[in-house]
Every structure is written in C-alpha cells, then in structure tokens.
Amino acid sequence: MQRLFFFAALLLLGSPAAAAEEWQKLRLVAHVHTTMSTGSLSFAEVMDQAKAAQLDGVLFTDSLLRHWEYGIWPLRGLIKKVIEQPSILKAGAENYLGDIRSQNKAGGPLAVAGLEAAPFYYWRRSPFDAQGGEIRDWNQHLLVFGLDAPEAFEQLPVNDFDPYHGDYQGKPYQQFIDAATAAGGVVFWAHPFIKHEGRHGGINDSTEAYPHLLEITNGYDGFAITYFGYLDALEPGLLWDSLLLDYVHGKRSKPVWVIGESDWRSAQERSLAMVVTDVWVDERSPKAVVSALREGRSWASIRADSTAPELEAFTIVDEASGHTAISGNHMTVHGKISIRVALRRGANAQSKFKVTLVKNGAVLHEEELTENKFIRKWTDQAPSAVSFYRLNVEDVSGVIYTNPIFIRPSEKLKPLR
C-alpha cells in the first residue's frame, strides 16, 4: 500500500513515473553500538532487532577508541593512570569489519560499517586528586562511514593533541575530518546539540553541547539529530540554514546534510526504529547507502509511534525541461519550477501537523492541517542565483527534515554571481 500511494502521489503531482523508478527507498537506523564497544547486543542480535522493526539496514558505529590516560609531570610517560574500555581498535579493526561483512552474507537487512570517534579530550582535574579526575569534551563525537580497510581505521588521528593545557577549539576535529575524508570517509557530527555527563572508570566526563564546532570546522558532510526538543537549529533561518547559505555563497566546499541518529545501545533505551534516515539508492548495497549519505539523497525522521508522518515524495521539476530533482541534487533550470510534496500519516492520527517549505532560510510556504494524506504542488519563479529548498514536517508523533535541493538558473536567464 505504501508503494502504491507513492506512485499515485507522483502521478497526481504530474511528475514522470520514470523518475521514481530510478531509485529505491531504504529505511536505515544510524549510530548503533554493539558489544564491540558500549552496546548490549552482538551484531547478529542487532540485525534480528532491525529485521523485526522492518528496517532495511543498520549503520554500525562502535567507538573507535575509548582510552584515557593522565601522566604525572615531569615523568608523564612513566607515572600515569590509564583507563581503556572496549572499542574497535582494542578488538581489532579487521575483526570489526569482518563481523559486519558476515552479517551481509547472512542476508536480511544491510549492515554498513561505520565508527564513532572522539578526536580530543582535555583534563580539568587530575585522577590523582582526592575528588577524582575529570575530563572535558570527550563526548564531542564524529561519525564516519565508507571506510572499508582496517588500516584506514587505525590511521585516524585521535588523542593527538596535548590533553593537559585546555581546549584547542576546532583544531583536533579539523585534523580528524581532513584525515577521514582523505581516506574516503563520509563524516557527520554526532549529537551536537546534546549536553553529556558521563563516567569512565572513576573519571567524570563533562561535555557541553557543541553546535559552534559545526561553524568553525569545514569539509565534513553533515550532522545528526537524535531527540525531540533539541531541534531548534533546524528551524528556518537558524544554524542549518546559515551553514547551507555558506555553501551557496562559496564559503564552504560542500553542503551540510542532516541524518537521523539513534545513538542506540539497547532496546531498554528506545525503539531501534524511533530515529531513522531514509535514503534513495540505485541498488541495495552498503556502497550505495554510503553514496546516498555523501550526496544528501536522504531525510531524517524522529518517530514516536506508527501515526508519525511519512514522506512519500519531495521533488522539484523544471517546468521548461521536465527534469526532476530530489534531495541532494543540484539542478539547472530554464524557467518556472514546481515543488511537489506527498505525505501520509497513520490512519489513527488526529492531531494537527505543520508542513513548512524553506527557501534559502526563509519560509516560502507553510500549512497546518489534519488530513492524513497530503499532496501539494507549489510553484516558484526560477531563482536569479543559486538557491536551496528543503522541507520541515512537525507533528506531535514525529518530525521530518529533508535535505535540500539546490537550484541554479540557466546562464540564459542570468549569469551566476
């Protein structure tokens, strides 16, 4: 029924059905830990949960390294306290990748290899103090997908900076981003809007929310959303739009995409399918999933229950040529464009929900309604310079944030600035 509604929506919107047939949609859960690091389930047990939740794939992100040490000056290399916990590098990157590949051989949902890294931490209080140790900013994490060789994991720069003399701002993270992308990785900031208080072997870990790092670092592919209530940065005209406008104006080398991350360790925390990333792929494979993440052919959803809204179509059509673009695409247009949206909700949904079309950080269209099937075709004149369009959907039972579509005018209309 879901697929039938999707094609019916495309036909009603006037978009060529052939455009839909080029892609297939996969529903994924990203940022999942196993017993390889901080999770409570094995790879196989997570895959069983994913199958039961009708997910198409799991993006595994066990911790790359969980290692902290404090050396006493002037003999820091000789007299020191060391804490190390399970991680990819402790178990062996080759073993980690082998376990993930074995899940794909078994069939079922796709297993995609990834990692979560903490490039830097610094000490605020020594573990030899009577109060015990305290580290800062270890929970400023990055997710990486697309690395498929053990040496690529092993060569990533973590804990390279002196942890005894305070904050280095964006430097450790920029070094890590540059190394990960040079190795072929796709890099997303993890949970940047969440404050964290943790404890590691008697050491306190305190990390404030870190949206500023999205502004002072470059070359990463995007950021992740995790929970209801921490989504202000995605509202029109705020942080996400500012980053996208930086790209449009040539201040960034690539767009900043959004994904949903579960940050999942056990079923006791939350449903595995509560936070998902839907992607358009041209084939069902881990490689195609990574390409979709890299190119922004995706959208993020947080879903409280089965009545949460579902996105069926978000496209832009060049009325002059008939060419169609989906999230992540860059399309040159020759005249007026139409923006086409199809949504549906569960049969028992009764609350009002809001649909907002954002253009270059400003609200272009906004509707609040109650019907459970929503199909719209909005029109706009061809922009005079590169522009982006994205969609926000907000409901008490769930939210959706699409990645943008970028539109540039034909040179026959007006040269780009």
Q: What is the pLDDT of residues 344-387, one digit of tens each?
A: 998 888 788 999 999 999 999 999 988 889 999 999 998 889 99
Is pLDDT larger for residue 346 or for residue 216?
A: 216
- Residue 20 above 60 pLDDT? no
Closest CA to 349 of 312, 308, 313, 310: 308
Task: Quote the percentage of the chain above a pLDDT of 70.
Answer: 93
Which pLDDT score, from 0 to 100, does residue 347 have?
81
Pick the CATH number of 24-226+261-296 from 2.40.50.140, 3.30.420.10, 3.20.20.140, 3.90.1530.30: 3.20.20.140
Mean pLDDT in residue range 139-160: 98
CATH number for 1-22+306-412 (one of 3.90.70.10, 3.30.70.330, 2.60.40.10, 3.40.50.300): it is: 2.60.40.10
pLDDT of residue 18: 39
Q: How far is CA 280 from CA 129, 144, 172, 208, 389, in A?
A: 53, 19, 33, 34, 18
| Burial of 107 (C-beta count, 10 Å sphere; 0-12/13-18/19+) | exposed
**Looking up tokens 């799991």, which residue turns up?**
58
The per-residue pLDDT for range 90-101, each reduced to its tens digit, is 999 999 999 999
Predicted confidence at residue 19, as pLDDT, reads 47
| Residue 368: Cβ-neighbour burial (10 angstroms; 0-12, 13-18, 19+) | exposed
Average confidence (pLDDT) over 134-154: 97
Q: Determine how β-strand 196-200 pairs with β-strand 24-32.
A: unpaired
120-147 mean pLDDT: 94
Residue 413: pLDDT above 80? Answer: no
pLDDT in tens, 293-316: 999 999 999 999 989 999 999 999
* Range with lowest mean pLDDT among 7-21, 151-165, 330-344, 368-382: 7-21
pLDDT band at 132 (very low <50, low <70, confident <90, very high): confident
Which region among 93-102, 185-194, 198-207, 386-395 has the lowest average model confidence (pLDDT)?
A: 198-207
How far apart are the C-alpha atoms of 266 and 44, rounded to whole Å?
13
Q: How far is CA 214 from CA 189, 219, 276, in A?
A: 8, 10, 21
Strands 337-344, 310-318: pairing kind: antiparallel
Per DSSP, the three-state class of 365 is: strand
Where are the CATH 2.60.40.10 domain residues in the chain?
A: 1-22+306-412
pLDDT of residue 22: 80
Q: How far apart are CA 145 and CA 328, in angstroms?
A: 18
Residues 252-277 have pLDDT tens digits of 999 999 999 999 999 888 899 999 99
Rounded CA-CA distance 91/166 in Å is: 30
Q: Which of 55-69, 75-89, 105-119, 213-227 has the lowest mean pLDDT?
A: 75-89
How high is the pLDDT of residue 371? Answer: 87
Reply yes or no on whether the pLDDT at 182 is more than 90: yes
Q: Which residue has the higher pLDDT, 81 or 411?
A: 81
Q: How far apart are CA 201 and CA 376, in angstroms?
A: 55
Question: CA-based angle 368:369:371, to the nearest 5?
Answer: 155
| pLDDT score, position 412 | 52
Q: How confident is the model at residue 122 (pLDDT cuts 50, 70, 90)?
A: very high
Report the predicted TM-score, pTM, of the whole model to 2 decimal places. Answer: 0.93
Considering the chain, tell me which residue range(s) the CATH 3.20.20.140 domain(s) occupy.
24-226+261-296
**What mean pLDDT is reported for the chain?**
92
